[in-house]
Amino acid sequence: MSAAVTFAHVSKRFASPRGPLQALDDVTFDIQPGEFFGLLGPNGAGKTTLISILAGLSRPSQGAVAVFGSDVHAEPMRVRRDLGLVPQELVFDPFFTVREALRFQSGYFGIRRNEDWIDELLAGLGLTDKADTNMRALSGGMKRRVMVAQALVHRPRVIVLDEPTAGVDVELRQGLWAFVSRLNRDGCTVLLTTHYLEEAEALCSRIAMLRGGRVVALERTADLLRRASANVLRFKTDQALPAAIAARARVTGRIAQIKVHDAYEVEQTLAALRQAGVVMEDIEVHKADLEDVFLELMATAPATRSAQEVSA
């Protein structure tokens, strides 16, 4: 059977005031049918560019992309029937109710009399009581639910979720993942980009990480986590850390996290902090997670190259 999605030596160059920019550099990987696949990377890594090429919204400078063996640009209609895209941006028609929007979206694919599936989408995404509400009257989170429903209304075999839970509440995130996970168990292939790394760790069986337009990691999630052999010392404090410890710490607000390899290093670090007069609360040691692996890979991977450097 063909891969659900194939990226074959995909590169993309853009013009910029400082000369050509290499947004993607020889990106190659497959996503297998039924996979829940994560595509991670910092802002500007090339994730949205890659998804735009997959959706047929942009052409690669070189390379090819296929969905179930059909080339995205040679057979666009076949690919669009197999692909459901939820973009980052909130795009909606302000003149329709939720149900009308889903009916019109169905019509774009020549689908009629699919009210049962529309009702199932509305129920699965918590939109039943909003079915006859005008799109303009919905909150941002509700509009995002409708966008997910629109992407699924033609029953695609591949769902692409580009930051689907950005800026939405916890209830929506949980409901969305329960519904999408059910579709995945039923055989639907899912490609997810997210900055919530705990979501990727919990949901994705395999992950690709991009940095500067290149794939810097492509592994099963469990194998990536095994890279994180160290533990993490975590605590809260209102004080600045000593310079030597701050250099290897990750600080978010009051929370400091420091990589430690064994009990001796834990004690040495705590002793140094106490000696410096740092008052700590809620001290704990836990296994490193996907965020730790991600930050380590991003710190060691090369930055974006210019197109001239790539062609040299």
**What does each C-alpha distance from 222 to 38, 202, 214, 293 come to in angstroms?**
13, 10, 22, 11
pLDDT tens digits, 199-256: 898 999 999 999 989 999 999 988 888 776 678 899 999 999 999 899 888 888 899 9
Q: Does residue 53 form part of some domain?
A: yes
CA neighbor of 179 nearest in space, from 88, 86, 109, 52: 86
User: What's the mean pLDDT in 145-161?
Assistant: 93
Is the confidence at residue 306, as pLDDT, over 60?
no
Q: Do residues 160 and 244 share a domain?
A: no
Q: Do residues 76 and 170 share a domain?
A: yes
pLDDT tier at 70, thresholds 50, 70, 90: very high
Average pLDDT of the chain?
87
Which pLDDT score is estimated for 1? 64
Could you give the percent of the chain with pLDDT greater than 70? 94
pLDDT tier at 160, thresholds 50, 70, 90: very high
Is the confidence at residue 312, as pLDDT, over 50?
no
Write the CATH number for 19. Answer: 3.40.50.300
Q: Does residue 251 form part of some domain?
A: yes
Token pair belonging to 43 = 């802002």
Q: Does residue 306 form part of some domain?
A: no
What residues pair up with 208 in beta bridges, in sequence order?
39, 218
Q: Does residue 68 form part of some domain?
A: yes
Is the confidence at residue 311, as pLDDT, over 90?
no
pLDDT tier at 277, thresholds 50, 70, 90: very high
pLDDT tier at 52, thresholds 50, 70, 90: very high
| Rg of the chain taking only CA atoms, in angstroms | 22
Is the confidence at residue 265, as pLDDT, over 60?
yes
User: What's the mean pLDDT in 167-173?
Assistant: 74
pLDDT tier at 144, thresholds 50, 70, 90: confident
Is the confidence at residue 158, as pLDDT, over 50?
yes
Is there a contact between 239 and 277 (Cβ–Cβ < 8 Å)?
Answer: yes
Q: Do residues 93 and 55 share a domain?
A: yes
Q: Do residues 103 and 130 share a domain?
A: yes
Q: Does residue 106 form part of some domain?
A: yes
Q: Do residues 246 and 211 share a domain?
A: no
Q: Do residues 234 and 215 share a domain?
A: no
Cβ neighbours for 112, distance < 8 A, ≥ 6 positions apart: 106
Q: Does residue 45 form part of some domain?
A: yes
Q: Do residues 185 and 238 share a domain?
A: no
Which pLDDT score is estimated for 301? 61
Is the confidence at residue 293, as pLDDT, over 90?
no
Q: Do residues 19 and 72 share a domain?
A: yes
Q: Do residues 202 and 94 share a domain?
A: yes
Q: Does residue 16 form part of some domain?
A: yes
Q: Give the number of domains in the chain.
A: 2
Is the confidence at residue 310, as pLDDT, over 50?
no
- Higher pLDDT among residues 1 and 156, named by residue: 156
Token pair belonging to 124 = 């699965």
Could you give the percent of the chain with pLDDT greater than 90? 54
pLDDT tier at 190, thresholds 50, 70, 90: very high
Which pLDDT score is estimated for 116? 94
Token pair belonging to 189 = 């292939």
Cβ neighbours for 262, distance < 8 A, ≥ 6 positions apart: none
Q: Do residues 129 and 175 share a domain?
A: yes
Which pLDDT score is estimated for 228? 67
Is there a contact between 157 and 191 (Cβ–Cβ < 8 Å)?
Answer: no
Q: Do residues 124 and 273 share a domain?
A: no
Q: Do residues 78 and 209 share a domain?
A: yes
* Domain extent at residue 121: 5-225
pTM, full prediction = 0.81
Which pLDDT score is estimated for 302? 58
3-state secondary structure the chain: CCCCEEEEEEEEEECCCCCCEEEEEEEEEEECCCCEEEEECCCCCCHHHHHHHHCCCCCCCEEEEEECCEECCCCHHHHHHHEEEECCCCCCCCCCEHHHHHHHHHHHCCCCCCHHHHHHHHHHCCCHHHCCCEHHHCCHHHHHHHHHHHHHCCCCCEEEEECCCCCCCHHHHHHHHHHHHHHHHCCCEEEEECCCHHHHHHHCCEEEEEECCEEEEEEEHHHHHHHCCCEEEEEECCCCCCHHHHCCEEEECCEEEEEECCHHHHHHHHHHHHHCCCCCEEEEEEECCHHHHHHHHHHHCCCCCEHHHHHC
Q: Does residue 304 form part of some domain?
A: no
